[in-house]
Amino acid sequence: MVGTARQHEDVEHEDVEGVDGGVGLTALLVAAARAIETHRPDSLAQDVYAEGFVRAAPACTDWPLRIERVPDGDRNPLWGRFARYFGLRTRVLDDFLLRAVSAGAHQVVLLGAGLDTRAFRLDWPSGRVVYEIDRAGVLEFKQHVLAERAAEPKAERVPVPVDLRADWVTALTDAGFDPGAPSAWLAEGLLFYLPGPAETYLVDTVDRLSAGGSALAFEAKLEKDLLVYRDSPLYTATREQIGIDLLHLFDKGPRPDSAGDLAARGWSTSTHTPFDFTHRHGRGPLPEPNDALEGNRWVFAHKPRS
């Protein structure tokens, strides 16, 4: 699948000075957001390891890890609103995976796992396996930080060191993944960096590898989000405060209807805005004028049992 995840690899694992393996600033941004969320008194998600990743990256030494250290607090578009978005996303996807394994999925696959620590921080039922697919350098950096903290996984954790542009399917099955067993798949913060055909290939492959009873969650963007909200305070703050130009990194081509494609193959799908879950949990971002989050969609799909 040469080329299928090229832009994702360029973005999520963009080299950062002083970080072995080329862990990207975008992955560290999400880790910093999770650290801020963890320290909130009304936290939606706890990730006690997130702060360690940021502190291990010299490029991020000035980043705040608590909302109290942000001069304008939650009014800051990046460290307030955007970080709260990542906290909400973390909680929603945590809940999705735990429901999926409780419903019978015995294996979890994190596509482009980055600095995800769900294998360590979630209370998995016994016998579950978590596969983490990402480049070797990313997984090595993560393992180094976690080992320094004597972190122990709460499920069987299987790192799968492979570039998503390479034959990750063979690497995954060689690592023990069973296509005949129900699985839970997660593509968090991944697909909108991919060209449309790459997203289609990835979703098609997940469908092919998924037995009945499997589930998939992914995040998508409406095409208009890339055009209408170019001057959004969120994108502007991210660019000016930490030098990440998200609009430059997002793929600009036409987006496929992956939820519709899965539905056509018999999956049941539901699509939500982040604001749906803000209302559900009573915490998180709400719509604002010129809102870069307005075009984000969270998709949940389930493949029926035969």
* Assessment of whether the complete model's pTM goes beyond 0.85: yes
DSSP 140: H
CA distances from 189 to 71, 234, 262, 266, 287 (A): 27, 16, 19, 25, 20
CATH superfamily of 6-302: Vaccinia Virus protein VP39 (3.40.50.150)
Read out DSSP for 108-129? EEEET-TT--HHHHS-PPTT-E
Residues ≥6 apart with Cβ < 8 Å to 142? 23, 53, 114, 115, 117
Q: pLDDT value at position 285?
A: 96
> Rounded to whole angstroms, how far apart are CA atoms 219 and 190?
7
Q: pLDDT value at position 14?
A: 40
Q: pLDDT value at position 214?
A: 98
Domain limits, the chain: 6-302
Helices then strands, each counted (H, E), the chain: 13, 7
Q: pLDDT value at position 227?
A: 67
> Rounded to whole angstroms, how far apart are CA atoms 253 and 61?
35
Tokens for 290, please give them.
Answer: 């010129």
Q: pLDDT value at position 67?
A: 97
Per run of 10 residues, the mean pLDDT along the chain (length 306 residues) is 36 37 78 98 97 95 96 96 98 98 98 97 97 95 97 98 93 98 97 92 97 97 74 93 91 92 98 97 94 94 94
